[in-house]
Amino acid sequence: MKRTLCCAGLLVLALAVPAQAADASKWSIKSATVELPKDIAEPVRTLLSDRAIQVFDGDNKLVCDLWFRKQLAAKATPQEVQKGLNYRHLEQSTVVGAVRFAQQWTDFRKQSIKAGTYTLRMGFQPMDGDHMGTAPYTEFCLLAPAADDKKPAILEAKALHELSAKSIPGGSHPAAMLLFPNAKPEDAPKFVSKGNGIWVLNWKEDVTAGDQKTVLGLGLTLFGHTSE
C-alpha cells in the first residue's frame, strides 16, 4: 500500500512539473505569421510585427509566441551606430515586443508566470547594492500583463516596476527575462545555450537612430534562472 501511494505521489509530482523543467536542448523554434492577441492594446499592437517566433518544448508542445517591434528607436550618435549599439542605447521602459505563454512559465528570478499575454519592456537593474551577483548582466525585458499595459509611452522606473509586478499574483518584484549581449546577430532567430542551464533566443531587430538605420542583436533568456 505504501509503495502504491509512493508511486502515485511521484506521478503527481511529475505531472505538476512545468514543461520548462524539461531538457531545453530539445526545444525548437520556428518563425510564422501569427495574429496578434486581442488583449494587446491597439496603440501597442500597431508597433508590433505579426511575424512571430514560436517556441516548442521537447514534446513539440507550444511554450510561447513572441512578437517583436517592427522597428526600435535608439538614442545614439553616428559614431556609436558605427561601433554597434547595445541595450543602453534604448530608453528604459521602451516596448520591445510581446509574448503569449501557452503554459505556465518561470522567469529568471524563479517566479511563476501564468499562461497569458504580456508586453515586454526594456528594464535596467537598479544599482542599489541589493541586486549584486544575481545576474551576469544588468539589462532585462520586464513582463507586464497586456491588459494593463495600454499605452507604449515611456514610464518612470517605479511605474515600470509596479506594472511588471502585476504579472505575478501577489508579487512585488518585476517579472524578468535576462538579456544577454548579441553583438553579431544572425539573420535567422536561433536558440542557443549560455551554460549553467540557461538558453537564450538570439534575434536581430531593426533600429533607427536619428536618420540612420542599423540593427540591434537581442539575446532573450527563455529557459534558466539566477543561481541566487
* pTM for the structure as a whole: 0.88
Position 77 scores a pLDDT of 95
Position 225 scores a pLDDT of 87
Q: What is the pLDDT of residues 102-155, one digit of tens each?
A: 999 999 999 999 999 999 999 999 865 555 556 799 999 999 999 999 999 999
% residues pLDDT > 70 (the chain)? 86
- Label residue 184 exposed, middle or buried (CB < 10 Å: 0-12, 13-18, 19+): exposed
The answer to whether residues 57 and 48 touch, using CB atoms and an 8 Å cutoff, is no
The answer to whether residues 99 and 69 touch, using CB atoms and an 8 Å cutoff, is no
DSSP state of 152: -
Strand, helix or coil for residue 165:
helix
Backbone angles phi, psi at 29, to 5 degrees: -135, 155
CA distance 126 to 139: 10
Cβ-based neighbour number of residue 31 at 10 Å: 13
Average pLDDT over residues 85-96: 98
Position 128 scores a pLDDT of 59
Position 37 scores a pLDDT of 97
Position 22 scores a pLDDT of 61
Position 172 scores a pLDDT of 87
